[in-house]
Amino acid sequence: MIRFSSAGESHGEALISLIEGLPAGVPVDLEFVNRELWRRQQGYGRGGRMKIETDKAHVLSGVRHGKTIGSPVAIEIVNRDWKNWEEKLPVEAGDPAKHQVVASPRPGHADLAGALKYNFPDARYVLERASARESTSRVAAGAFAKLMLRELGIEILSHVIRVGHAELQRTATWDEIVAVNAKDEVLLGCVDPETEARMKEEVEQVSRTGDTVGGVFEVVVHGAPAGLGTYAQWDERLDGLLAWSVMSLQAVKAVEIGRGVTAAESFGSQVHDAIHYAQESNGRPTRFIREQNNAGGIEGGVSNGEDIVVRGYLKPISTLRRPLESVRFDTREATNAAYERSDICVVPAAGVAAEAMVALTIADLVQRKFGGDSALEMKRNFAGYIEQIRSY
């Protein structure tokens, strides 16, 4: 079983990721891990914080001489912004008056629900952990899950389908998704330049008006074999597990598997992916193939050998430069919602964080199915199963 947990506040000293259950012998490419962290920081519409941070993974345990050793991997990522908050948010008991109070809750953020739940006098205490700064820890751990999956030829990437009203109107190929993620400058992570330009206009418009914008990202798992997840028990279905892991990201409000949303308004003959039997299908481990993949690679809660496709729908960011109405925590007087600084569009970054969640979910299922205390053992078990499918 592969488990992931994290600790750390948005403006605290550092973030910590803990990932347990990785086999020994997985090559650890720290440049890759740091590139993943960099990718999560990109995208047109990020706020001032991303100019302060340069996220880098500092591995504290679980790796020796460039390979995992089967023990828990702990990773630290320093918050550069902490030095600006060290006095305002001390760990020791101090004078709460020195805290920079968040006096009125932002509609759409965790401020009010969190303050009521934990009995906090203001939203500062809430946002420190509710903040999507936490998604950095997920990306660090997800990078390790990706490194394990890479050993088996399974790759995971994302791209942006929609920002506000601008939407990609076609299916992206895997090669296009690889190419857009290989760029050293990320605009909005869309495979089509013309659509990406319209996405940029959407962000520019909200930037002018003090508003924010959401959108849709798509995560694709390439090279996964048929047989991950099962219909045998409700909490072991692959679609359910992926939906949970992606929905758990900040601001994701809906998850779609394949073309799940449009399927609901279409006829069965238009939705279901006809099955063909081909002698060879471009090196894929199954000879049952489909010409379309509306199912998003999952049928009956089990991967079917096609690319696994998961979309996340992001609500617009809730901190608005032109704030919504709110109420002061202390006096209950009507006022505007708090505003310090904020992102205005985070769809590409959320896609990268979702890749990490998908990678952790798939890695867990792979580890459960193929086992192995070492990468060698896991690869041998995996190869045996692929051979079984090939000769089915």
Ligand X SMILES: Cc1cc2nc3c(=O)[nH]c(=O)nc-3n(C[C@H](O)[C@H](O)[C@H](O)COP(=O)(O)O)c2cc1C
186 binds ligand X (CB under 6 A): no
The Cα 242–Cα 299 span in angstroms is 13
Query: Residue 346 Cβ, how far from ligand X at the closest point, in Å?
Result: 4
For the CB of residue 317, give the shortest distance to ligand X in the complex, in Å: 4
Q: Are 206 and 344 in contact (CB under 8 A)?
A: yes
Out of 130, 241, 298, 337, which residue is the one contacting ligand X (CB under 6 A)?
130
* Exposure class string for 112-137: b at 16+ Cβ within 10 A, else e: bebbeeeeeebbbbbbbbbbbbbbbb
Q: Segment 237-276, which members bind ligand X (CB under 6 A)?
A: 249-251
Residue 350 interacts, among ligand X, ligand EPS, none and using kind-specific CB cut-offs from 5 to 8 Å, with ligand X
Structure tokens, 142:
């997800």
User: Rule CB under 6 A: is residue 346 a binding residue for ligand X?
Assistant: yes
Shortest Cβ 55–ligand EPS spacing (Å): 7
Q: Show the site string, 6-25: x = touches ligand EPS by CB under 6 A, - = not.
A: ----x---------------
Distance CA 106, CA 112 (A): 8
Cα separation, 237 vs 71, whole angstroms: 28
Interface pattern 44-83 for ligand EPS (x via CB under 6 A): ---x-x---x------------------------------
Interaction of residue 123 with ligand X, rule CB under 6 A: no
In contact, 217 and 205? CB cutoff 8 Å: no
Element (H, E) at 234: none
Determine if 203 is a binding residue for ligand X (CB under 6 A): no
How would DSSP label each residue in 52-67? H-----EEEESEETTE
Among 6, 104, 303, 318, binds ligand X (CB under 6 A): 318
Total Cβ atoms within 10 A of residue 217: 30
Q: 122 vs 155, which CB is nearer to ligand EPS? A: 122
Structure tokens at 75: 């990773």
Quote the least distance from Cβ 325 to ligand EPS, whole Å. 19
Place of tokens 């979309």: 311
Q: Which residues bind ligand EPS (CB under 6 A)?
A: 10, 47, 49, 53, 127, 131-133, 136, 250, 340-343
Binding residues for FMN: 129-131, 250-251, 300, 315-319, 341
